[in-house]
Structure 1
Amino acid sequence: MGRGVRERTYRGRRRARAGCAVLVAALLGVGGCDAGGGSDASGGSSSPKPSPTPTPVWDPSPGSVAAVGDSITRGFDACAVLSDCPEVSWATGDSAKVDSLAVRLLGKKAAARSWNHAVTGARMADLAGQVARAAVHRPELVTVMVGANDACRSSAAAMTPVAEFREQFEDALRALRAKLPEAQVYVSSIPDLKRLWAQGRTSALGKQVWKLGICPSMLGDADAVDAAATSRRARVEQRVADYNEVLAEVCEADERCRTDGGAVYDYRFGTGQLSHWDWFHPSVDGQARLAAIAYRTVTAKQD
């Protein structure tokens, strides 16, 4: 090939490449080309691909609910003295008077898609076993309300140590994650037991029922206000606060766990929200208030 021909060919190729570059810049998405019309070096489009929208970790509309915990979640003393009444449970009950969390979330499917594995008298040490039973159903949301019985012991000295309470809760969450790695967990704070004592001690019937063994560490010698009794109740009150701090800290370390932010502890139960048999456990109305708190927490927008 002669020199003049080679120079004309080179100039032609440069003009072709320049024209292709302008075309690519204009179209933003057409594959790169050279003088021969081929693709770019990578063999693909030169335009940036949009980043996928991240899937939220928390789903405000889970399709099934399993409850674990203690007597409160069993509706104890809400319908009859010293008896469970799970139909009015804040978590999974079917009573229209309560409008439980499961009913609010699942509607007519609640009966088939919710399960109550709470046990009256349960303490934190029992939670891992309850979680194992609940996991069989593969629930999308697990509700937890436990810890009151760790403070409600025969005496203040018999309360579950805080470090032990923490270890047991961590063990239960690990057991849950081993079986249900993507399940969501709602953790309720423990109610203010001292406030329940202050409200219930106005009832002569309630104080008689307390003598049967309901929360002796707080409710024993209900009318006593001497230094010893006051100190004992203060110790129980502080232990509940410590337990609630543990619940919040352990839950915070799990991205699929939410607490109520202390809403149940802060709720000022009045006599209308307490059982008219023991004036300590939630009444039907009290259960409804717990359901409302749980629903607000579960359905709140993710931070």
Structure 2
Amino acid sequence: MRNRGHRSRGLLAAFAAAVVGVAGLTGCDAVGGNAPGPSGTAAQTGKPSPKPTPSWDRSPRSLAAVGDSITRGFDACSVLTDCPDSSWATGTDAKVNSLAVRLLGRTGAAQRSWNYAQTGSRMSDLPGQMAQAATRRPELVTVMAGANDACRASVSAMTSVAEFRAQFEDAMTTLRESLPKTQVYVSSVPDLKRLWSQGRTNQLSKQIWKLGICPSMLGDPDALDSAATLRRDTVQDRVEEYNAVLREVCAKDRRCRFDGGAVFEYRFGTKQLSHWDWFHPSRNGQARLAEMAYAGVTSRTPPK
């Protein structure tokens, strides 16, 4: 989270409905034969049966991760450093027990999971990461992105909701052009305001924050005046709007699951935060993210 990054089928449907309707009325098939007309529900409605929704595979055999510093394990094992081995998505750290390890086993995670997340990336970087991930032809892609779109130098520099939506749609389109059947699991953006409230009493964390970690939320962390409160509330509102976009765009894709807001709603405490910056997840926090993702991916029904 460091600061840096169908076309309409109406005509075809109408034509199909008309063909079925004519067949029902004449008792002939669509090519003029003498087959009996449809009966039951089809005869009553005159409409073709809808295509079944594809079942969600709860045990994918390969995984690619895209996103930002959280998925890179930033500050989980060393100060101001990526720790991909501690990543909630693809890491092999036993203390984390990542999603990949839970799904594929430790050997499988090492051989059939790939991490294309980049520290500092924003939603605008996601299409490129998706293109990289697609080259591996994974059965599942995990997405955790958006924190850096809110974590900017100022609230005015935050990515607009419209841009955020267009960029996420672009990323999904990029993946679907190559892999129409790959499943996607989308994590919500964390509650940045809660992270500020947990770390603001720690003197070391506030010194680290000065290096440029999420200034829109963490800047002047001790200020409680109306201007500072408004600034933080504005960032928080934008994060909630981003999560609404993630939910809505994902809902349009038959092989996409949103986490239902699980990450945003999780109450990260001091054990779940890096003791180097009190903002990024610690190993314990990465483990909690892995738990949430595993529950979402393996659930018989999508999270709500």
* TM-score, shorter chain, exceeding 0.5: yes
Aligned to 2:56: 58
Give the secondary-structure state (helix, strand or coil) at the position aligned to 1:190. coil
Residues 121 and 148, structure 2, Cα contact 8 Å, conserved in 1: yes
Aligned to 1:78: 76
Aligned to 2:230: 231
Aligned to 2:213: 214
Write the distance in 2 (CA, Å) between the matches of 1:56 and 1:160.
Answer: 34
Aligned to 1:122: 121
Aligned to 2:27: none
Q: What is the CA-CA distance between 1:202 and the residue it aligns to?
A: 1.4
Residue-by-residue CA offset, 1:74-128 (whole Å, 9 max, x unaligned): 0001111110000000000001100000000001311100000000000000000
Residues 54 and 255, structure 2, Cα contact 8 Å, conserved in 1: no
Q: Please give the TM-score of this superposition, normalised by the length of structure 2.
A: 0.82
Give the secondary-structure state (helix, strand or coil) at the position aligned to 1:66. strand
Write the distance in 1 (CA, Å) between the matches of 2:214 and 2:288.
Answer: 22
Letter in 2 for 1:86: P
Residue-by-residue CA offset, 1:45-96 (whole Å, 9 max, x unaligned): xxxxxxxxx6843100000000000000000011111100000000000011
Give the secondary-structure state (helix, strand or coil) at the position aligned to 2:141. strand
Residue-by-residue CA offset, 1:5-49 (whole Å, 9 max, x unaligned): xxxxxxxxxxxxxxxxxxxxxxxxxxxxxxxxxxxx99xxxxxxx
Q: What is the CA-CA distance between 1:297 and the residue it aligns to?
A: 0.3
Letter in 2 for 1:90: W
Aligned to 2:296: 297
Residues 57 and 255, structure 1, Cα contact 8 Å, conserved in 2: no
Q: What is the CA-CA distance between 1:282 and the residue it aligns to?
A: 0.3
Q: What is the CA-CA distance between 1:263 and the residue it aligns to?
A: 0.3
Q: 1:87 aligns with which of 85, 95, 99?
A: 85
Write the distance in 2 (CA, Å) between the matches of 1:292 and 1:149.
Answer: 23
Write the distance in 2 (CA, Å) between the matches of 1:176 and 1:291.
Answer: 23
Provide runs of 4+ in structure 1 moved above 3 Å.
none
Q: Which runs of 5+ in 1 are unaligned?
A: 1-40, 43-53
Letter in 2 for 1:61: S
Write the distance in 2 (CA, Å) between the matches of 1:274 and 1:294.
Answer: 18
Residues 123 and 146, structure 1, Cα contact 8 Å, conserved in 2: yes
Write the distance in 1 (CA, Å) between the matches of 2:166 and 2:227.
Answer: 31
Q: What is the CA-CA distance between 1:196 and the residue it aligns to?
A: 0.1
Q: What is the CA-CA distance between 1:215 and the residue it aligns to?
A: 0.1
Residues 127 and 174, structure 2, Cα contact 8 Å, conserved in 1: yes
Residues 53 and 254, structure 2, Cα contact 8 Å, conserved in 1: no
Counterpart mapping for 1:127-146 below 5 A: 127-146=126-145
Give the secondary-structure state (helix, strand or coil) at the position aligned to 1:122. coil
Aligned to 1:242: 241
Counterpart mapping for 1:12-23 below 5 A: none
Letter in 2 for 1:88: S
Residue-by-residue CA offset, 1:210-264 (whole Å, 9 max, x unaligned): 0000000000000000010000000000000000000000000001000110000
Percent identity reads: 71
Write the distance in 2 (CA, Å) between the matches of 1:214 and 1:202.
Answer: 16
Aligned to 1:19: none
Residue-by-residue CA offset, 1:139-196 (whole Å, 9 max, x unaligned): 0000000000000000011000000000000011000000110000000000000000
Write the distance in 2 (CA, Å) between the matches of 1:111 and 1:275.
Answer: 25
With 212-221 and 107-116 compared, the bigger mean Cα shift is at 107-116
Write the distance in 2 (CA, Å) between the matches of 1:85 and 1:95.
Answer: 10
- Do the aligned partners of residues 213 and 56 (structure 1) sit closer, same or farther apart at CA in structure 2, a change above 3 Å counting? same
Q: What is the CA-CA distance between 1:302 and the residue it aligns to?
A: 3.3
Residues 271 and 282, structure 2, Cα contact 8 Å, conserved in 1: yes
